[in-house]
Every structure is written in structure tokens, then in C-alpha cells.
């Protein structure tokens, strides 16, 4: 039996959730609500990683400063590499960086055109007429997707719920258009130019080491090793891969909506040692929150009442 399976249960609490979504992309909570949920759980830090937009960071920062929580600037970029789509998490970048913002503006514009086509197809195929500009105006700072159109159809009384909207109309192949994506290499470089670093999100199981080495050589620095759908074997495998190839580790809940078991804010994240290491990397990055990062005590004292624990197998990796 491997040591990972014989390690006794660990009592390391989760102190940082590095993967959350807000209503600025396809989540249902406002940025401030995500921060309040993280603070209520006693987390030290949380990253907002909306799909293709950083619009949630400013409102989240106001709440994080008020509650004394570290907000790690983040975004989850849709990227492609050799014809395949991946999600690339980016952290610690300068939010005002012109190159980064040009890249995000391009994605936002492409999402607008995509949803415009979806709205046209909705009328042609289902006879449902929606004024596209009304949808757009309803979510002025969001990375637009079908979820926003579904919510608009609910408010218009066309459907009874988001689920109803997808079941009757939006799940239609003709309305499920490909999402815009960035070239992986270009995305990695742009984030690095902006002082940040990248991590592959929820990596598929079929990647081999040569693939990872290529991405590392392109400048990818980290990998998400734990996420809600990853089973224990996957988490151990990804932790080992990160150590073997020298990637930093990130982990998070991929929170989108309240009420989903195992996917609430803080359900998955970094333990104290892992967060300390990532915090050092973020200090190296020129992040706006550096003042608050500097103020974290070097010795993290776990809360006695914490009910959130890093699984034993991965806690073992954390300590080694
Ligand atoms: P899009 O980015 O336009 O492809 O929309 C994707 C988002 O739409 C997802 O993140 C969900 O929030 C929502 N969505 C997709 N499929 C469904 C479904 N079958 N039922 C409810 N919501 C869905
Ligand atoms: Fe999502
Ligand atoms: Fe993702
Ligand atoms: Zn996500």
C-alpha cells in the first residue's frame, strides 16, 4: 500500500479558495457576497476567477478590505491549444495592464457577437423574439453567456426558470455555439507581461508529462491540483505531477451557485503551508493587494472550530 493511503486523517484547515465565480460571469452571487461567504468561513484569502472578465475584482476588493480578507486578483480564461479547449486560471496580474485589458476586451466583444447570433437563432428556430440590446444592458459588466439570456427570458416571463430556458430553447445545438477562446501561448505570455502567472484549471486526465513540460516551457507556472469533481486518486496524481515538474499548486471550489453540495466557497482550497508558498509567489507578482498580502502573519494559527480540512492524501503532499 502506498504511503498516501496509509497517512492518517489530517487536521489542516483550508485557508484559501483560489477558484470562484460571480454574477460577472456565470455565477449567481455578487462579488461582495462571495467575499462575505469566504470571510464568514474564516478564510485568509479568496481569488475571484470569473470566466474571461476581471469586472468583479473592484467591487470584491472593497468588501475584502472592509472585512480584512486578501483578495487575489484572478480570471479563468478560455483557451485553445492544438484544437482542444482548456481553462487557464490567471492570478496576481496588474489589473490596469493595457495588454491584458486589450485581450479581455477582445474576448468580451466576441462574446457579445456570439450571444447576438444566439438571439437571432432563437428567433429563427423557436419564434422567440428577444431584443439583444436589452439583454446586454441588463448585464453591462458581465462576460455574456447563455445563462444571462436564460435569466432575461425568465424576467420576460417567456420561461419559468433557467432550467426551463435550457430545456426548451437554449440547449438546442444551433444555440450552443462555440465560446470564443484565446491561443494558450498568447494567454500565458500576456498574463506574464501583466506581472501575473497562470495555472491549468481542472486538468483532463489524459495529459502526459511531455504535454506539461511543453506548457511549463511556455511559461505556465502552476496547476490546479484539487477541485470538487477530482477524486482522491486524481488529487494525489496532480499533486505528484506538480512536485515532479516544479509547478506551483492552486486549488479551489469553482463556486458558481449557493446550494450545490461540495461546491460552496471554501469547500476546496489550499492548506496553510500551500497558501504560504503561493503568497510568496504573489508577493513576487505586482498585485494591487500586496499591502494586505504583506500583512498576513507568517505563522498561521489554525482555527480550532474549523470544519474544513485538506484531505489526508494531499495534506501529505503539502507537508513534504
Ligand atoms: P455559455 O457560456 O453561453 O455556453 O453558457 C454556459 C452557462 O450556461 C453555464 O455555465 C451554465 O450557467 C448555463 N447552462 C448551460 N447549460 C445549462 C443547462 N442545461 N441548464 C441550466 N444552465 C445551463
Ligand atoms: Fe463556469
Ligand atoms: Fe473551468
Ligand atoms: Zn471555474
Q: For the domain that residue 80 is a member of, what is the CATH number?
A: 3.20.20.140
- pTM, two decimals, is 0.86
What does the pLDDT read at residue 140? 86
Euclidean distance between CA atoms 266 and 46, whole angstroms: 8
Euclidean distance between CA atoms 20 and 225, whole angstroms: 15
- Nearest ligand to the CA of 20 is 4
Q: Is 146 in the pocket of ligand 1 (CB under 6 A)?
A: yes
Q: How far is CA 134 from CA 149, 165, 299, in A?
A: 10, 17, 51
**Residue 91 and residue 196 in one domain:** yes
> What is the residue range of 126's domain?
104-170
What does the pLDDT read at residue 6? 34
What does the pLDDT read at residue 284? 77
Q: Tell me how many domains the chain contains.
A: 2
207 in a structural domain: yes
Tally DSSP H helices, then E strands, for the chain.
Answer: 13, 8
CATH number at residue 110: 1.10.150
**Residue 158 and residue 292 in one domain:** no
What does the pLDDT read at residue 2? 37
What does the pLDDT read at residue 98? 98
What does the pLDDT read at residue 4? 34
Q: How far is the CA of 299 from the centre of ligand 3 (A)?
A: 32
- What is the Cβ-side half-sphere exposure of residue 219, based on CA atoms within 13 angstroms? 15
Of 142, 170, 198, the residue at which a domain comes to its end is: 170
Q: Which of 29, 147, 255 has the most ligand 1 atoms within 8 A of CB, as the residue to mutate?
A: 147
pLDDT tens, N- to C-terminus, the chain (320 residues): 333 333 333 457 999 999 999 999 999 999 999 999 999 999 999 999 999 999 999 999 999 999 999 999 999 999 999 999 999 999 999 999 999 999 999 999 999 999 999 999 999 999 999 999 999 999 988 999 999 999 999 999 999 999 999 999 999 999 999 999 999 999 999 999 999 999 999 999 999 999 999 999 999 999 999 999 999 999 999 999 999 999 999 999 999 999 998 999 999 999 999 999 999 999 876 544 444 444 434 333 333 333 344 443 333 333 22
Q: Is 169 in the pocket of ligand 1 (CB under 6 A)?
A: no
Question: CA 11: distance to chain centroid?
Answer: 26
* Closest ligand 1 atom, residue 149 Cα: 3
**Residue 114 and residue 162 in one domain:** yes
Q: Is 180 in the pocket of ligand 1 (CB under 6 A)?
A: no
**Residue 25 and residue 162 in one domain:** no
118 in a structural domain: yes
* Closest ligand 1 atom, residue 147 Cα: 8
Residue 28 gets which letter from DSSP?
S
* Closest ligand 1 atom, residue 146 Cα: 3
Amino acid at each position: 500500500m502506498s504511503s498516501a493511503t496509509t497517512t492518517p486523517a489530517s487536521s489542516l484547515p483550508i485557508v484559501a479558495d483560489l477558484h470562484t465565480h460571480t454574477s460577472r460571469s456565470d455565477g449567481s452571487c455578487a462579488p461582495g457576497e462571495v467575499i462575505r461567504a469566504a470571510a464568514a468561513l474564516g478564510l485568509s484569502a479568496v481569488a475571484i476567477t470569473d470566466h474571461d472578465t476581471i469586472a468583479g475584482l473592484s467591487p470584491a476588493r472593497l468588501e475584502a478590505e472592509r472585512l480584512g480578507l486578501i483578495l487575489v486578483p484572478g480570471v479563468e480564461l478560455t483557451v485553445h491549444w492544438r484544437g482542444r479547449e482548456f481553462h487557464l486560471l490567471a492570478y496576481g496580474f496588474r489589473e490596469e495592464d493595457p495588454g491584458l485589458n486589450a485581450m479581455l476586451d477582445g474576448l468580451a466583444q466576441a462574446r457579445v457577437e456570439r450571444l447576438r447570433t444566439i438571439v437571432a437563432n432563437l428567433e429563427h428556430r423557436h419564434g422567440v423574439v428577444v431584443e439583444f440590446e436589452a439583454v446586454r444592458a441588463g448585464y453591462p459588466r458581465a462576460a455574456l453567456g447563455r445563462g444571462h439570456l436564460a435569466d432575461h427570458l425568465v424576467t420576460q416571463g417567456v420561461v419559468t426558470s433557467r432550467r426551463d430556458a435550457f430545456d426548451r430553447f437554449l440547449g438546442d445545438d444551433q444555440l450552443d455555439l462555440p465560446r470564443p477562446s484565446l491561443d494558450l501561448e498568447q494567454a500565458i505570455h500576456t498574463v506574464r507581461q501583466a506581472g501575473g502567472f497562470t495555472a491549468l484549471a481542472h486538468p483532463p486526465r489524459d495529459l502526459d508529462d511531455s504535454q506539461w513540460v511543453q506548457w511549463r516551457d511556455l511559461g505556465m507556472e502552476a496547476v490546479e491540483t484539487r477541485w470538487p469533481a477530482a477524486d482522491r486518486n486524481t488529487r494525489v496524481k496532480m499533486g505528484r505531477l506538480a512536485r515532479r515538474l516544479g509547478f506551483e499548486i492552486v486549488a479551489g471550489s469553482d463556486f458558481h451557485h449557493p446550494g450545490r453540495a461540495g461546491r460552496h466557497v471554501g469547500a476546496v482550497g489550499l492548506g496553510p503551508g500551500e497558501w504560504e508558498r503561493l503568497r510568496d509567489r504573489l508577493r513576487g507578482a505586482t498585485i494591487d493587494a500586496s499591502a494586505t498580502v504583506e500583512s498576513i502573519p507568517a505563522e498561521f494559527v489554525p482555527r480550532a472550530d474549523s470544519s474544513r480540512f485538506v484531505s489526508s492524501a494531499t495534506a501529505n503532499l503539502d507537508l513534504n
